[in-house]
Amino acid sequence: MKDILYSPWRIKYILSKKEKECIFCLKPSAEHDEKHLILYRSKNSFVIMNAFPYNNGHLMVVPNKHASELNDLSTDEICNLFETVRLCEKVLKKVYSPDGLNIGLNLGKSAGAGIDDHLHVHIVPRWSGDVNFMTTTAGTRVIPESFEKAYKQLKEQFDNERVEK
């Protein structure tokens, strides 16, 4: 029997009304980073909290340039994107002390990309035993921390890292 990864809590996102324009282009151009869950801006990318997270601290690093493939980005843009991913790793380790991290891209709809026209890197903190019976039996994901608290802690650490550079 093959292993199956169920994520029924994502149905809210799947069924939700989608913006006609790219949210990864709209959100960073709007004011109010906190309202849009943007934590950090680098030269060519930004860090945003996932509004439909798989776990506490689920972040995404998004290039400023609207691109669906890595080959659409310049070497400088790719370097900046992954330097920002490295920064996220550092921040998440300081804030949450996870046992591990999942870091990856889903390029294209068939690869699992919910937003396939603007690539983004997912960084998901993981802990031993972080998936419990609620997910399995009730189809409900337990995220024990509010977005407001998570944003505040993460933003503070990103700001501290910015000063340390």
Question: CA–CA separation, 75 vs 41, rounded Å?
Answer: 18
Residues 155 and 34: their CA atoms lie apart, in Å, by 9
Q: Where are the beta strands (DSSP E) in 26-134?
A: 38-41, 45-49, 59-63, 100-105, 121-126
Q: Which of 30, 123, 35 is nearest to 85 (CA)?
A: 123
Q: Are 123 and 74 in contact (CB under 8 A)?
A: no
CB count in 10 Å sphere of residue 93: 13
- Clarify whether 120 is annotated catalytic: yes
Of the candidates 58, 118, 120, 122, the residue annotated as catalytic is: 120
Catalytic residues: 120
